[in-house]
Amino acid sequence: MSLTLLLNTQVVTNMAITLTWNANIEPDLAGYKVHRGSSPGVYSTIVDVGIALTYQVTLGSGTYYFAVTAYDTSNNQSAFSNEVSTTVDLTPPAAPTGLQAVMS
């Protein structure tokens, strides 16, 4: 079973992250699960996305790690795909200082 997980950081807009991966070709493939966590290799959230090849999630500020597994009709689960990560930074920059008005 071969999975490739791609994260295009250009799709990070207003906290929306879109994950995409390549389809498996096994005839008994039943679906995929997206695993998410805040530490490498430690996934606290698992979402069954069925046979979809993309998953979009809205996230707050922080660093997130993702991997995908495939499962078959006998509920056998694959090994994890490669792991990808992204950091969502919603902290605005500091306000400008030193503003002056000069009469000319």
**CATH for the stretch 5-88:** 2.60.40.10
Q: What pLDDT shows up at residue 55? A: 96
The string of pLDDT tens digits covering residues 53-97 is: 999 999 988 999 999 999 999 999 999 999 999 998 887 788 889
Categorize the per-residue pLDDT at 27 as very low, low, confident or very high, splitting at 50, 70 and 90.
Answer: very high
What Å distances lie between residue 83 and 13, 42, 46, 49, 74, CA to CA? 21, 11, 14, 17, 25
Categorize the per-residue pLDDT at 49 as very low, low, confident or very high, splitting at 50, 70 and 90.
Answer: very high
Q: What pLDDT shows up at residue 47? A: 98
Asked whether residue 12 carries a pLDDT value surpassing 50, the answer given is: no
Chain mean pLDDT for the chain: 87
Categorize the per-residue pLDDT at 14 as very low, low, confident or very high, splitting at 50, 70 and 90.
Answer: low
